[in-house]
Structure 1
Amino acid sequence: MLNIIGFKRYPRIYQAICLGLGFTLIQVLFGCLFSNSQNLVEGYSKLCRWDCDWYTHIIEHGYRSTIPPTPQNPDLSNVAFFPGYPAIAGAIKNVFNLSTQTALLLAAQIACWGFWTYVFLLFQRWRISDRLSLCGAIAILVHPAAFYLVAGYSESLFLMMLLGFLYWTASKKRVAWILAATHGFVMTATRVVGLPIAIYPLFHFWLLSAKDRQAKPFRFWQKSSKYLLVSAVSILGSLLFFAFCYFKFGAWNFYMQTQAIGWGVKPNYLAIFKPESYFAFLDPKILNLPGVINAISVPFALISFFIVFLLERKAAPFLIEGSWKQRAEFYVAGWLMFYLSACGMSSLSMTSMVRYTFCVHVVLVLATIHLISRTQFYRLFNQKWIVFLLLLMATPSLLLQMKFVGMFTNMQWVA
């Protein structure tokens, strides 16, 4: 993938940045081409649909609401969205004097660039071969909901901050903890599912400092203060929004109230333990393509976790002891996102889950690529026929994404 004349002579960070930009431009072009538009400019503008309109209202009018909230009326109640994404888009709008919708799209696409850059930085850190890196990138790119990375949604910003949070937490550079805390703050300010992930630095330190816990307990607790600070700053992204809701609307959980009244989101935290959660696609109320795909995404995600677990068990005898700890962060983040999203959408027949499980898909792909690279399986990816076979298998998912892009950009609900 990097065998471009002279490209490998540049520092790895520049390689990752260039590859990230390339994949972002591919996704933007893909979205424009399959939007059923007369030209690329019209197709580009159509990437701002659905939730993008809500973010537009928040930027132009600020947060507002009746008490109690009004069901799905942006002029009366718009507190159902976290402030991270509209705040950054609003800053871009003011700095460059752009229209709100253009600023929202640029914010998402710049974040998409950042997301892909972190994907390739992780591959570089793990010393993944070019061919295996390409397979991992394509596995992310062809997901049916991957186009949301360049649409006017918060997916790309959340994923960029999540990967940056994980990347810098594991880094040994002096400024790494500051960068990790900054990414964590924006992550929790962008989506509520980022809040539990914010404790990851403590989990990371506890996991990788087992020897210090036993041999040098004082040094262990002394070193843990940095990771505690990263988690504390990260959590502030959500806590400050909750504080804002309390002082402006009289309830810290006003976001949750707006979600419940406006969209019917009533989390059931035991939902993933109930069989009916995995058979929502049989619900006659959602017998349409997006509804079925959203519902099927839940059992598919659970099966993906199971397959990765089996791969870990199968590969364990051939791996260096403790190798799994490098992947634990991705498994934990993936499971927390899956659990909270599935429980939240259980009252709505798992609507939007193809979009929410895309984030889960990303971290599982990254963990799987790391696992494969540490086993003999990576040699298979040196065979061109294996890469061709994987591309062939990915074709149906890509075709489904093309269909979803056309629906989304022409105001048909997808997720």
Structure 2
Amino acid sequence: MNYFRQLVIAVLHPGSGSGSALDRTNGIAVFLFAILPGLSPNFNGFILLGSMLSGIYLLATARFPLNFSKSDRVVAICMTIYPLVMIASIFINPPYSEVADWIFRLLPFFSIWLILPRMRQSPDGRLVPLFILGAGIGMIVTFLVSLLQIMFLMERAEAGTSNAALLGIIGLLFGGVALLNVQSPKSVEQRIAILGYAAGLGCVLLSGTRSAWLAIPVHLVILLWYFRKHSFHLSLRSLAITGSLLFAGLIALGSGQIIHRIQALQENMAALERSEGEITSLSARVALYKGALSAISKDPLTGYGPQNRMASVLAELPDSMRPYLTFSHVHNGFLTAGIDAGVVGIAALSLLLLTPLIAAWKKEPGPGRDLSMALALLLTSSYVVTGSVGIMFNQKALDPIFAYMVALICLDRGSTVFTPVVRS
């Protein structure tokens, strides 16, 4: 309990000075942002919107300068291209009845211009460890909620996300982020890191999100790369024993869900081979991909605008299938961008996905650069792997998470050394 009292002090009373009030609110916002995705992702959008409005006010009143480095500007411009392309496609392709709604949805991708200068009012090395620690705590609580849902209520866990696939993506990403705290010299933070990673994997398994299962080996490679370059304060024997016990527990808890989802996939594949017109999860995706490719081939330059997305896809499919395909996207982020804005949209999306890597690569060499690269690789791979067969962007939870994490990756210098949140 003494550690958690010190943690409260570290978050709420970071120090004194002219920037202490901004530093305090930065710390609270970052810490809550990391804890909440699996419990109530709408609050992540509220935190981002509040930070943007605050940034507008503070910049307008000259409380601090824009303070963008050359690399910051490169990242911000690359990130801004995607929403500008999508907004252009909205105006190129009538009707215009949903223009305001779609522009509002794209606001998170402009946020880096407003929230990064505010984050810079905190000392280097303070906010990223808070985010990593918060990710571990959030995943532990989210897993407990998910476990209760599986035990008493639901076939697939959703926690507070209202979407099992969304929980799988969040568990994958934030579990991986949480494990980075194994490098902390504080034993409590090490335990939270390991438990947070296991909890994140537990959320992935209990959610039954098969696309997130595919990304787990990718994350393991990223984490092994990072930990090979940096020593951590946990003995390998202790880590092996703890990891083996947690892995066995996760398999025991998630085995039913794993078997059920594999059987469902086998049944879907068998139904697809029978060609009897049965609509399953797999056949619906295949139909959406075919419709999307056909529509893109007819208008590859400008697309149809996000407001016409599904109408243009369904127009390429048989009338008998349309009533069963009640989706808002085509379950592939790249095809969705192609429908929205043609090949330019696909190029803008690809550039957006590269912004975390650009932000990390542009830093000066050092431990801070390695940590930023690990965060960037975890973030980009999570969205690319899961978004290739499911949700990627244009989602009220995933868009703020991506934008906020890109700003955090930009934040510290490459030479910044990782420090624990509670230092005493």
TM-score when normalising by structure 1:
0.41
TM-score normalized by the length of structure 2: 0.40
